[in-house]
A and B are shown apart, each in its own frame.
Chain A
Amino acid sequence: MTLVAEPASLAEQAGVDPNWPELVTIEPPRGWTTLGLRELWEYRELLYFLTWRDIKVRYKQTALGAAWAIIQPLSTMIVFSLFFGRLARIPSDGVPYPLFSFAALVPWTFFANGLTQSANSVVLSQNLITKIYFPRLAVPIATVLAGAVDFVLAFVVLVGLMLFYSTPLTLHALWVIPFSLLALVTALGVGFWLAALNVQYRDVRYAVPFLVQLWLFATPIAYPSSLLSEPWRTVYGLNPMVGVVEGFRWALLGTATAPGAMVLVSTVAALVVAIGGALYFRRMEQTFADVV
């Protein structure tokens, strides 16, 4: 070992042994960085294991177990059907109201849970973050992805409900795949923002339930977006969950209104939120270990 003021760069010293492992350079962060997708890809197995862990432990030591994945949207559907469907007689695009609201509640529950849990994910993983290096984005991503199991379970119930109401299941239903991805991107995007903010400001913890509640009513779950006239219906798509919910209904229940322009707006909005959120997260993650 030698003590030198400015030793030759290790990069310059390369060539001694071509089998040398890859050089890692650690430098002070300089403002905004990239998304670090390449590194995230290298750590894909960690992402897989974190997701797997979240799924494994999600319903450990609960009496009802995975049934919770169904109880949540199902009970909301029953309440909505009673109050909005029966009592308030809110229109449902010619679809039985329970089916109409449940088709929206399935992606919504996935979104709302993903959002809530990813907002707390980084703070809850502080023992990991203060001890080990890995791409921090893996934490909120794994949390949101783990919700996919609940989503699939709830979706099966939705299919059952469709059969119950004799709604035909056609190939057209495959359209739910891109709409599910849209819900995923939206949940990730908002999750990135909230998870990073939560490290610095624990206010987020208190704001999230409130935000989810407001967002629920700002999304056409209990009511159809067809209540709005164009161009407002398309503008409404700025809330990405509007595109998701209407897309689900269109794909599964065949509601007459094809939500083309609205979905386009929603997709752009979701991507802006997600990329912006990821960049903000990446900027803030440099101080996570010091602050959390």
Chain B
Amino acid sequence: MTTAAIRVANLGKRYELGRALDPSRTIREALTEGARGALRALRGQRRAPTEFWALRDVSFEVARGEAMGIIGGNGAGKSTLLKLLSRITTPSTGRIEIRGRVGSLLEVGTGFHPDLTGRENVFLNGAILGMRRSEIARKFDEIVAFAEVDRFIDTPVKRYSSGMYLRLAFSVAAHLEPEVLLVDEVLAVGDAAFQKKCLGKMGDVTGEGRTVLFVSHNTDAVQRLCAHSVLLQSGRLTAAGDSSDVVRKYLSLGLRTSEPGEWVDVTQLPRRGSGQARVASVLYSSGNDLTGGHPYSLGPLEFILEVVSDSARTLSSLAVVIRDQGGTNLVNADIATHGHVIQLEAGRNAVRVRIAALYLNPGQYTVDLWLGDGTGAGFDHVESAFPLMVLDPRPAGTGAITVVAGAVPCRITASVEPFAEYRSALTVASS
């Protein structure tokens, strides 16, 4: 018998486009629309499909005390799912069962009235979030202390700085102590310290045996906070399971697809440089069938660049640059660092670049391409040519969640040695 806190079965949400979504509908428009529909029916014309399923046939369960990530691109249905779970809107099909009070960090500050004082807003907002008056009174000092607004608690919040306002609002929400907490990445408001506070609070909450649903684009945070995740694509649940697997699948959906062993056409991408020599397409592979040719940590990686040159020329700099998602240049595989030069023929050339061991942790990266003559002026520079996914080489099924510690991996060994062998050396060092 499982102890599920949330159970979602065949959940669907349908919107009628152009109708329910239009807020400024007047009676006259409703009438003309109705008349037009009748006319069309008379003529035997079928109405264009105006239905839109924001969510369809979604089923999953979340165990009590578990944090689950909800991953998906824009418009995948993440927000709709949260709206249904928090009962803001009603489902079109299916069923949700939830045990306990649902709170969310998506409504930070909702219901705050600018003319009311901080104290008054704490009570009002607390009541809106579903707290009892006695509960708010009991936690009042704690809420104010957490928000660090003690001195201004009897000042109307419209006189607050935006930071104070946000802190007070978050503090109220954070003290709600619901059994089920919904967190949207919208919490990415505020500065880094504030975001950290939010994520920290989330960790506390799961520690207390509460259930958390965490919606984010930040796959790193999802993997850190949630053991399990579901992936939504166009309103459907397409993957569920260990967060690392789901994140991997999500990342593999990247904007431009770049599968190993297939030529990636880069001719249409924005670029800089004189254009005397250009990269037309790229093929890459780790050569390892177990990873489907995908590169993996500490494994080999080979690129084949199709370079088109206007004449025979010498290339003294050719680089494949790998950046992380934050744009940091992590690997610069440039022939210039080894003093190589490449003689290009007029027309098409194939250049092979081989990285013997890739010192990158599993994750999503971006590849830049660079051709130059070594004088600084480049022939061709393509930024973000294609995404590159680095896999975890450890066999699947060990149950370990990827622990990403450092920025890059390293090969290590560790062993226990007889201490006596080192004693003298240590004594010398410390004297």
Contacts from A to B (Cβ < 8 Å): 1-11, 13, 16-17, 20-29, 45-46, 48-50, 52-53, 56-57, 60-61, 127-134, 200-203, 286-287, 289-292
Contact = CB atoms under 8 A, between A and B. Distances in A.
A126 to B, nearest CB: 9
Contact of A9 (B3, B7, B127): B7
B128 A26 contact: no
Nearest to B239: A3
A199 to B, nearest CB: 9
Contacts of B94: 27-28
Contacts of A45: 127, 132-133
Q: Which of B66, B84, B87 has the most CB of A within 10 A?
A: B87
Q: Which of A6, A23, A24, A286 has the most CB of B within 10 A?
A: A24
B266 interface: no
Contacts of A3: 59-60, 230, 237, 240-241
A61 B99 contact: no
Nearest to A1: B228
A52 B237 CA distance: 44
Interface residues of B, number: 65
B249 to A, nearest CB: 14
B90 A29 contact: yes
B136 to A, nearest CB: 9
A134 B124 CA distance: 13
Contacts of B123: 49
Given A46-B127, A292-B23, A1 B99 contact: no
Contacts of B107: 131-132
B291 interface: no
B37 interface: no
Contacts of A289: 83, 88-89
A4 B110 contact: no
B61 A7 contact: yes
A28 B115 contact: no
Given A1-B240, A26-B91, A202-B25, 9 more contacts: A1-B63, A1-B228, A13-B2, A45-B127, A52-B124, A53-B113, A129-B88, A131-B88, A290-B15
A19 B85 CA distance: 22
A24 B92 contact: no
Nearest to B97: A10
A9 to B, nearest CB: 7
Contact of B130 (A56, A134, A201): A134
A128 B125 CA distance: 10
A202 B24 contact: yes
Contacts of B1: 13, 16
A26 B90 contact: yes
